[in-house]
Amino acid sequence: MASERENFNLFGPSYLTPIDWNNSHHRKSIAASLVQGVYTLECDRKQNRQGPQALAPAWWEFFNFGLTQVLVDDDDKSYFGAIYEFRFPYPYPNHIGQGPPRYVIAFRGTTNKSGNRTQDYKLNLQFIVNNLEKSPRFQAGMEAVRNTVHKANGPGNAWLAGHSTGSSIALLIGRNMVKMGMYILNFRLMYQEVICTSIIGLFNKYVINHLKTDFNLFRLNYFNLS
Protein backbone atom coordinates (compact mmCIF):
# COMPACT_ATOMS: atom_id res chain seq x y z
CA MET A 1 0.00 0.00 0.00
CA ALA A 2 1.33 3.43 -0.97
CA SER A 3 2.33 5.92 1.68
CA GLU A 4 0.49 9.23 1.45
CA ARG A 5 3.86 10.96 1.34
CA GLU A 6 4.48 9.38 -2.05
CA ASN A 7 1.45 11.17 -3.51
CA PHE A 8 2.41 14.49 -5.07
CA ASN A 9 -1.19 15.73 -5.10
CA LEU A 10 -1.30 15.40 -1.31
CA PHE A 11 2.23 16.30 -0.29
CA GLY A 12 3.94 18.00 -3.22
CA PRO A 13 4.48 21.79 -3.54
CA SER A 14 1.71 22.22 -6.11
CA TYR A 15 1.34 25.85 -5.02
CA LEU A 16 4.43 26.70 -7.14
CA THR A 17 2.45 28.15 -10.02
CA PRO A 18 3.98 29.86 -11.80
CA ILE A 19 7.54 28.78 -11.08
CA ASP A 20 9.98 31.61 -10.50
CA TRP A 21 13.42 30.26 -11.37
CA ASN A 22 14.99 33.38 -9.84
CA ASN A 23 13.47 32.47 -6.47
CA SER A 24 15.85 30.35 -4.38
CA HIS A 25 12.95 28.88 -2.38
CA HIS A 26 11.32 27.65 -5.58
CA ARG A 27 14.58 26.11 -6.77
CA LYS A 28 15.14 24.35 -3.44
CA SER A 29 11.64 22.91 -3.28
CA ILE A 30 11.93 21.68 -6.87
CA ALA A 31 15.23 19.96 -6.03
CA ALA A 32 13.53 18.38 -2.99
CA SER A 33 10.70 17.13 -5.17
CA LEU A 34 13.10 15.54 -7.66
CA VAL A 35 14.83 13.71 -4.82
CA GLN A 36 11.44 12.56 -3.56
CA GLY A 37 10.81 11.35 -7.09
CA VAL A 38 13.73 8.91 -6.73
CA TYR A 39 12.34 7.53 -3.47
CA THR A 40 8.91 7.11 -5.06
CA LEU A 41 10.41 5.50 -8.16
CA GLU A 42 11.87 2.79 -5.93
CA CYS A 43 8.52 2.32 -4.19
CA ASP A 44 6.78 2.08 -7.57
CA ARG A 45 9.26 -0.59 -8.62
CA LYS A 46 8.85 -2.67 -5.48
CA GLN A 47 5.07 -2.48 -5.54
CA ASN A 48 4.88 -2.98 -9.30
CA ARG A 49 2.98 0.28 -9.83
CA GLN A 50 3.04 1.02 -13.54
CA GLY A 51 1.21 3.29 -15.94
CA PRO A 52 -1.60 5.29 -14.29
CA GLN A 53 -0.87 3.61 -10.93
CA ALA A 54 2.71 4.93 -10.78
CA LEU A 55 3.08 7.79 -8.31
CA ALA A 56 6.63 8.90 -9.09
CA PRO A 57 6.14 10.79 -12.40
CA ALA A 58 4.10 13.57 -10.82
CA TRP A 59 7.12 14.61 -8.75
CA TRP A 60 8.99 15.72 -11.88
CA GLU A 61 6.31 16.24 -14.52
CA PHE A 62 4.70 19.05 -12.53
CA PHE A 63 7.92 21.03 -13.00
CA ASN A 64 8.23 20.16 -16.70
CA PHE A 65 11.00 17.61 -16.34
CA GLY A 66 11.22 14.25 -18.01
CA LEU A 67 12.97 11.15 -16.71
CA THR A 68 15.87 10.24 -18.98
CA GLN A 69 17.73 7.63 -16.92
CA VAL A 70 17.31 5.61 -13.74
CA LEU A 71 20.45 4.63 -11.81
CA VAL A 72 20.18 1.00 -10.68
CA ASP A 73 22.15 -0.84 -8.01
CA ASP A 74 23.66 -3.92 -9.67
CA ASP A 75 23.35 -6.03 -6.51
CA ASP A 76 19.76 -5.53 -5.31
CA LYS A 77 18.43 -3.90 -8.52
CA SER A 78 17.04 -0.97 -6.53
CA TYR A 79 16.73 2.52 -7.94
CA PHE A 80 19.10 4.88 -6.12
CA GLY A 81 19.26 7.81 -8.52
CA ALA A 82 17.65 9.48 -11.49
CA ILE A 83 18.54 11.92 -14.25
CA TYR A 84 15.91 14.45 -15.26
CA GLU A 85 15.86 16.69 -18.33
CA PHE A 86 13.96 19.95 -18.62
CA ARG A 87 11.39 19.56 -21.37
CA PHE A 88 11.21 23.03 -22.85
CA PRO A 89 13.63 24.18 -25.57
CA TYR A 90 17.02 24.99 -24.14
CA PRO A 91 18.25 27.59 -23.40
CA TYR A 92 15.01 28.70 -21.72
CA PRO A 93 13.41 31.31 -24.03
CA ASN A 94 12.58 34.89 -23.01
CA HIS A 95 14.03 34.50 -19.53
CA ILE A 96 16.14 36.96 -17.58
CA GLY A 97 18.35 35.87 -14.70
CA GLN A 98 18.49 32.39 -13.19
CA GLY A 99 16.88 29.82 -15.47
CA PRO A 100 16.03 26.15 -15.06
CA PRO A 101 18.80 23.58 -15.36
CA ARG A 102 18.88 21.46 -18.46
CA TYR A 103 19.56 18.36 -16.33
CA VAL A 104 19.21 17.39 -12.67
CA ILE A 105 20.93 14.31 -11.24
CA ALA A 106 19.27 13.27 -7.97
CA PHE A 107 20.18 10.60 -5.41
CA ARG A 108 18.02 9.09 -2.69
CA GLY A 109 19.29 8.08 0.73
CA THR A 110 18.74 5.12 3.03
CA THR A 111 15.39 3.36 3.14
CA ASN A 112 14.64 1.05 6.03
CA LYS A 113 12.53 -1.35 4.01
CA SER A 114 12.75 -5.00 3.09
CA GLY A 115 14.76 -5.45 -0.06
CA ASN A 116 16.73 -2.24 0.46
CA ARG A 117 18.32 -2.61 3.88
CA THR A 118 21.32 -4.73 2.94
CA GLN A 119 22.76 -2.49 0.23
CA ASP A 120 21.64 0.77 1.84
CA TYR A 121 23.21 -0.10 5.19
CA LYS A 122 26.34 -1.34 3.44
CA LEU A 123 26.59 2.09 1.82
CA ASN A 124 26.18 3.71 5.23
CA LEU A 125 29.09 1.67 6.56
CA GLN A 126 31.24 2.68 3.62
CA PHE A 127 30.44 6.29 4.43
CA ILE A 128 31.39 5.81 8.10
CA VAL A 129 34.79 4.33 7.22
CA ASN A 130 35.39 7.00 4.57
CA ASN A 131 35.23 4.50 1.74
CA LEU A 132 32.22 5.82 -0.16
CA GLU A 133 34.19 6.58 -3.31
CA LYS A 134 34.84 2.87 -3.81
CA SER A 135 31.14 1.98 -3.70
CA PRO A 136 29.44 0.89 -6.94
CA ARG A 137 26.74 3.51 -6.44
CA PHE A 138 29.24 6.33 -6.27
CA GLN A 139 31.08 5.04 -9.32
CA ALA A 140 27.87 4.68 -11.32
CA GLY A 141 26.78 8.14 -10.22
CA MET A 142 30.12 9.68 -11.13
CA GLU A 143 29.99 8.21 -14.62
CA ALA A 144 26.38 9.37 -15.08
CA VAL A 145 27.25 12.92 -14.01
CA ARG A 146 30.26 13.12 -16.33
CA ASN A 147 28.15 11.95 -19.27
CA THR A 148 25.31 14.30 -18.38
CA VAL A 149 27.58 17.34 -18.04
CA HIS A 150 29.01 16.52 -21.46
CA LYS A 151 25.51 16.42 -22.96
CA ALA A 152 24.58 19.63 -21.15
CA ASN A 153 27.53 21.47 -22.74
CA GLY A 154 29.02 22.29 -19.38
CA PRO A 155 28.34 22.01 -15.63
CA GLY A 156 26.47 25.32 -15.52
CA ASN A 157 23.47 23.62 -17.09
CA ALA A 158 23.21 20.83 -14.51
CA TRP A 159 22.24 20.43 -10.86
CA LEU A 160 23.14 17.80 -8.31
CA ALA A 161 20.68 16.95 -5.53
CA GLY A 162 20.74 14.34 -2.79
CA HIS A 163 19.39 13.34 0.59
CA SER A 164 21.03 11.37 3.40
CA THR A 165 23.73 9.12 1.91
CA GLY A 166 22.58 10.39 -1.46
CA SER A 167 23.74 13.86 -0.45
CA SER A 168 27.14 12.40 0.43
CA ILE A 169 27.37 10.83 -3.00
CA ALA A 170 26.43 14.16 -4.60
CA LEU A 171 29.03 15.96 -2.48
CA LEU A 172 31.83 13.59 -3.47
CA ILE A 173 30.85 13.76 -7.12
CA GLY A 174 30.83 17.54 -6.95
CA ARG A 175 34.29 17.60 -5.40
CA ASN A 176 35.65 15.31 -8.08
CA MET A 177 34.12 17.50 -10.77
CA VAL A 178 35.77 20.55 -9.20
CA LYS A 179 39.13 18.78 -9.47
CA MET A 180 38.43 18.64 -13.19
CA GLY A 181 37.65 22.36 -13.23
CA MET A 182 33.86 21.97 -13.36
CA TYR A 183 31.62 23.54 -10.71
CA ILE A 184 28.10 22.15 -10.33
CA LEU A 185 25.28 23.64 -8.30
CA ASN A 186 24.52 21.18 -5.50
CA PHE A 187 21.43 20.88 -3.31
CA ARG A 188 22.15 18.78 -0.22
CA LEU A 189 19.27 17.63 1.93
CA MET A 190 20.21 18.00 5.57
CA TYR A 191 17.47 16.27 7.57
CA GLN A 192 16.29 12.70 7.69
CA GLU A 193 13.10 13.05 5.66
CA VAL A 194 11.92 15.03 2.67
CA ILE A 195 9.13 16.47 4.82
CA CYS A 196 9.14 20.23 4.41
CA THR A 197 7.87 20.05 0.85
CA SER A 198 5.31 17.47 1.92
CA ILE A 199 3.97 19.43 4.88
CA ILE A 200 3.57 22.65 2.95
CA GLY A 201 1.80 20.74 0.22
CA LEU A 202 -0.99 19.98 2.69
CA PHE A 203 -1.98 23.63 3.08
CA ASN A 204 -4.11 25.60 0.64
CA LYS A 205 -2.80 28.63 -1.22
CA TYR A 206 -4.36 31.09 1.21
CA VAL A 207 -2.41 29.60 4.10
CA ILE A 208 0.75 29.36 2.01
CA ASN A 209 0.73 33.12 1.49
CA HIS A 210 1.26 33.54 5.23
CA LEU A 211 3.90 30.88 5.67
CA LYS A 212 7.61 31.35 5.52
CA THR A 213 8.65 29.06 2.71
CA ASP A 214 12.30 29.00 3.60
CA PHE A 215 13.06 25.32 3.14
CA ASN A 216 15.82 24.48 5.58
CA LEU A 217 16.07 20.99 4.09
CA PHE A 218 18.76 22.03 1.69
CA ARG A 219 22.07 23.80 1.81
CA LEU A 220 22.84 25.44 -1.51
CA ASN A 221 26.48 24.88 -2.38
CA TYR A 222 28.95 25.96 -4.94
CA PHE A 223 31.96 23.80 -4.30
CA ASN A 224 35.06 25.80 -3.53
CA LEU A 225 38.30 24.04 -2.80
CA SER A 226 40.27 27.19 -2.13
pLDDT tens digits along 27-65: 999 999 999 999 999 999 999 999 999 999 999 999 999
Please state the separation of Cα 209 from the chain's center in Å: 26
pLDDT at residue 202 above 70? no
State the DSSP code for 211.
Answer: S
CB-based contacts of 178, cutoff 8 Å, min separation 6: 223, 224, 225
Task: Check whether 166 has a pLDDT greater than 60.
Answer: yes
Q: For 205-221, how does the pLDDT look when each residue is reduced to its tens digit (9 = 90+)?
A: 333 333 333 333 333 44
For the chain, give the longest Cα–Cα distance.
49
Cβ count within 10 A of residue 190: 11
CA atoms within 13 A on the CB side of 225: 13
pLDDT of residue 176: 95
Question: Which residue type, as a one-letter code, is found at position 124?
Answer: N
Q: Please compute Rg for the chain using Cα positions.
A: 17
- The percent of residues above 70 in pLDDT, for the chain, comes to 78
pLDDT tens string 83-101: 999 998 666 665 556 789 9
Q: Is the pTM for the entire model greater than 0.85?
A: no
- Check if the beta carbon of residue 189 is closer than 8 Å to that of residue 217: yes
% helix / strand / coil in the chain, to the nearest 5?
40, 15, 40
pLDDT at 73 over 60: yes
Any residues with CB less than 8 A from the CB of 8 and at least 6 apart, and which?
14, 33, 55, 58, 59, 62, 201
Residues 6+ apart with CB under 8 A from 161: 31, 32, 34, 35, 104, 105, 106, 107, 170, 186, 187, 188, 189, 218
What pLDDT is recorded for position 94? 53
